[in-house]
Structure 1
Amino acid sequence: MEPRTTLVATMEAVKLRNLFLVFVVLTVSTVTAHIADFDEVWQNRAEEAMTAACQAYHPDPEKVINHFNKHVHKVTQGDNSTRRELHKYHGPCLATNPIDRCWRCQKNWAKNRMRLADCALGFGRHTTGGKGGKIYMVTDPSDNDLVNPKPGTLRHAVIQPEPLWIIFARNMVIRLSEELIFTSNKTVDARGANVHIAGGSGFTLQFVRNIIIHGLHIHDIKSGNGGLIRDSVNHYGFRSSSDGDGVSIFGATNIWIDHLSMSNCADGLIDVVEGSTAITISNCHFTHHNEVMLFGASDSYSGDSVMQITVAFNHFGQGMVQRMPRVRWGFVHVVNNDYTHWLMYAIGGSQHPTIISQGNRFIAPPNLAAKEVTKRDYAPESVWQSWLWRSEGDLMMDGAFFTQSGNSGQSYSKRDLITPKPGSYVPRLTRFSGSINCVPNSPC
């Protein structure tokens, strides 16, 4: 084999050096974790989470990028359209990217909901959620008892020990009294109902694995006061106050967030921290928020070196300010997203993250001081110039520009990689971002 220094080798070395730190840091970070009493149950969950992260970490992220781009090429083959067609869609199927094509053209989607679990791409592509488990129907939007949640409520559903595919009986607004703490192997599937998580706390995916969240509106989330909260059928404990994230992913693996409409949360819309990995965030519509997505919460926490996230087919729309995303330590593939608004910057980071930006559309704001897509925090150019940040096939509009970095010795091999579709395809690929109105017995 021809000797070469690759990103893969670098990331593997970092992984081996730092994974041993994860469990120690997780077990002592009780304040950050919002766990006031870090008992044996949570210690065991933290240890299991570390093991899951080791298993989910992909030693060759090039293959994941290649796999993703191959699927995009297949869907767009023979289509040279670059227009953002705003008139009524008349195509044979209301699906324009490979994730959606996997399920949305099926008129019997409501009878075969679990097909969705076969459709993820990117680093979270092995996520199956509650596939193979029972269907659990949420019939009650209340959230009045945090220790003994009522059967039929969303809180009762997500703490059950077995895999579940959770759906909703009708349209509803759920105001969570405190953070909603998940157990592993769950799908929350809002297709066929207009479901809003609003006016209260958000979702917490902590030390869990294999979660799909699909089709919800999540907005106007507040920070919580904490208190006694049940986190499984057999355990409850005292939690400190929550930050007010829409979705908080903490020490979790194999997570797929798809077709959410999110806005106006007290903290981040989606935060991914503390050694979480194997995550895809796709087809979401983000609006009216300042600090949108934070990947890696601390410059001092090297355990986030195992973080691998795909951000694909999302629309960053009106009222966006910054952090789309902001990254520390990990590897993030930002691909085929539409950035139509930002006030400060779009993609930022610190502590030498690897960011591969492919086939996105960036429309800069009128402010001449905010034309740059990228922002490096807390590091002089002499330091950040060695970070691997690449822009390939991105469409830059209204003066937008992406400052690349990283030398040839760090660059991942492109020998076997498929060239990404250019950013001119993004209006089509992201056209149906956000929660969509699905009707049973009809293609979605």
Structure 2
Amino acid sequence: MASLPYADVDGSLRVLAGKAEGFGRFAVGGVYGPLYSVTSLNDDGPGSLREGCRRRGPLWIVFEVSGTIHLRSFCSVSSHKTIDGRGQRIKLTGFGLRLKDCENIIICNLEFEGGRGHDVDGIQIKPNSRNIWIDRCSLRDFDDGLIDITRQSTDITVSRCYFAQHDKTMLIGADPSHTGDRCIRVTIHHCFFDGTRQRQPRLRFGKVHLYNNYTRNWDIYAVCASVEAQIYSQCNIYEAGNKKKTFEYYTEKAGDKEESASGLIISEGDVFLNGAQPFLRTGIGEENVFHPSEHYPTWTMEAATDSLKEVLQICAGWQSIPQPPDTMTICQ
């Protein structure tokens, strides 16, 4: 049976803090703040999620209710917050979460479904946000992206999430004129992309480490490297449906360059099923692609096997698990 990273985090509430792997590993969220209990499914007001998210200072947000929160606008999350859905089943619809000019955020065990309107993402990360961990969330059916990371936001990990029923799944770097996005660094691991059409992810400029993900039945491509992108794809499972092209390369001109360029993808230990075709551009600038070990010393990874595929179908996305006890005393 495949093993999963950070398997010990559900014994005590705040043990989750700092257990991310990859570029978002320094996210501790609201570990040093008091608990805030969401007691209302209203869009705003006392006991609402929005009320907790906009408070200043560290806060560990938990839920005492289950159900759907219909957001009438983006719910903006301020710095040093953990939004911890373990123990309940919370679905956000209408709009999603916006992480703007913030740092040190953990979002765990929530569902996002049915966001409507132009530029409405499930989780929108822009601008200048950093040290973020999105863990065990289920996301589907938004009008724009499910998770979009743009405008110099960086040091982000997305882990054990489930993505389905969607077109433009994950955009990282929104425009070739945004040359400041060269700073972007994202790790995506142990996620299940289930029939999403494209952008698992699409990257401009930055660095993305993909490992132990399962992507199946895409409709355009699985992963896209555009202008100056560096993608290290490691021990993932790519299972094609009707469309066989796994890796795509789009050519664009950076705002500060004269010549157009696409990006680069390194594939190491990936498995390609049902006729999936990687179309790797071997020998073209491979020496310029980063290696994850240049940025973090360890990560939990195994071979891309049938066992891993089975586990990810069960353990990615929202989980029916009890809320762990809070054993940490906060001095204020």
Q: TM-score range by the shorter chain?
A: 0.7 to 0.9
2:267 matched residue in structure 1:
391
Q: Which moved more, 1:183-192 or 1:407-416?
A: 407-416
Structure 2: how far apart are the matches of 1:294 and 1:414?
A: 20
Structure 1 residue 414 displacement after superposition = 9.3
Structure 2: how far apart are the matches of 1:337 and 1:291?
A: 18
For the pair 1:326 / 2:202, whether they are aligned, the reply is yes
Structure 1 residue 404 displacement after superposition = 2.4
2:13 touches 2:323 (CA, 8 Å); kept in 1? Answer: no
2:194 touches 2:216 (CA, 8 Å); kept in 1? Answer: yes
Change (3 A) 1:277 1:429: farther
1:255 touches 1:279 (CA, 8 Å); kept in 2? Answer: yes
For the pair 1:211 / 2:105, whether they are aligned, the reply is yes
Query: How well do the aligned residues superpose, as a CA RMSD in angstroms?
Result: 2.4
1:437 matched residue in structure 2:
320
> Which structure 2 segments of 5+ residues have no match?
254-258, 326-332
1:423 matched residue in structure 2:
304
Structure 2: how far apart are the matches of 1:418 and 1:408?
A: 22
For the pair 1:285 / 2:172, whether they are aligned, the reply is no
Change (3 A) 1:418 1:256: closer
Structure 2: how far apart are the matches of 1:157 and 1:441?
A: 20
1:75 matched residue in structure 2:
none
Change (3 A) 1:151 1:414: closer
TM-score after normalising by structure 2: 0.88
Structure 1 residue 412 displacement after superposition = 4.5
For the pair 1:271 / 2:152, whether they are aligned, the reply is no
Aligned residue for 2:132, secondary structure, equals strand
For the pair 1:98 / 2:5, whether they are aligned, the reply is yes
Aligned residue for 1:98, secondary structure, equals coil
Structure 1: how far apart are the matches of 2:245 and 2:308?
A: 19
For the pair 1:373 / 2:246, whether they are aligned, the reply is yes
Q: Which amino acid aligns with 2:151?
A: E
Structure 1: how far apart are the matches of 2:137 and 2:194?
A: 13
Structure 1 residue 340 displacement after superposition = 2.0
For the pair 1:360 / 2:236, whether they are aligned, the reply is yes
For the pair 1:123 / 2:56, whether they are aligned, the reply is no
Structure 1: how far apart are the matches of 2:185 and 2:286?
A: 22
Structure 1 residues 65-76: aligned runs within 5 Å? none
Structure 1: how far apart are the matches of 2:228 and 2:202?
A: 12
The match for 1:181 among 55, 76, 84 is 76
Aligned residue for 1:114, secondary structure, equals helix
Specify which structure has the higher proportion of strand. 2
Structure 1 residues 4-403: aligned runs within 5 Å? 96-99=3-6, 101-104=7-10, 106=11, 112-143=12-43, 149-198=44-93, 200-223=94-117, 243-250=119-126, 251-318=128-195, 320-365=196-241, 367=242, 370-378=243-251, 387-403=263-279
Structure 1 residue 383 displacement after superposition = 6.5
1:407 matched residue in structure 2:
285
Aligned residue for 1:156, secondary structure, equals helix
2:330 matched residue in structure 1:
none
Structure 2: how far apart are the matches of 1:184 and 1:441?
A: 23
Structure 2: how far apart are the matches of 1:166 and 1:427?
A: 32
Structure 1: how far apart are the matches of 2:238 and 2:26?
A: 29
Change (3 A) 1:165 1:299: same
Q: 1:107-162 deviations in whole A, cap 9, x for unaligned?
A: xxxxx31111132111000000000100000111112xxxxx42211111001111
Structure 1 residue 441 displacement after superposition = 7.1
Q: Which amino acid aligns with 1:346?
A: A
Structure 2: how far apart are the matches of 1:414 and 1:155?
A: 36
1:359 touches 1:426 (CA, 8 Å); kept in 2? Answer: no
Q: Which moved more, 1:113-122 or 1:428-437?
A: 428-437
Q: Which moved more, 1:415-424 or 1:429-438?
A: 415-424
1:277 touches 1:306 (CA, 8 Å); kept in 2? Answer: yes
Q: 1:234-257 deviations in whole A, cap 9, x for unaligned?
A: xxxxxxxx6110000002100100
1:376 touches 1:384 (CA, 8 Å); kept in 2? Answer: no
Specify which structure has the higher proportion of helix. 1
Structure 1: how far apart are the matches of 2:60 and 2:298?
A: 35
1:65 matched residue in structure 2:
none
Q: Which amino acid aligns with 2:322?
A: V
Aligned residue for 2:52, secondary structure, equals helix
Change (3 A) 1:338 1:256: same
2:328 matched residue in structure 1:
none
1:292 touches 1:325 (CA, 8 Å); kept in 2? Answer: yes
Structure 2: how far apart are the matches of 1:212 and 1:330?
A: 21
Change (3 A) 1:321 1:273: same
Structure 2: how far apart are the matches of 1:176 and 1:351?
A: 35
Change (3 A) 1:275 1:389: same
Aligned length: 312
Q: 1:342-385 deviations in whole A, cap 9, x for unaligned?
A: 111110131120000000000011x2xx21111112359x9657
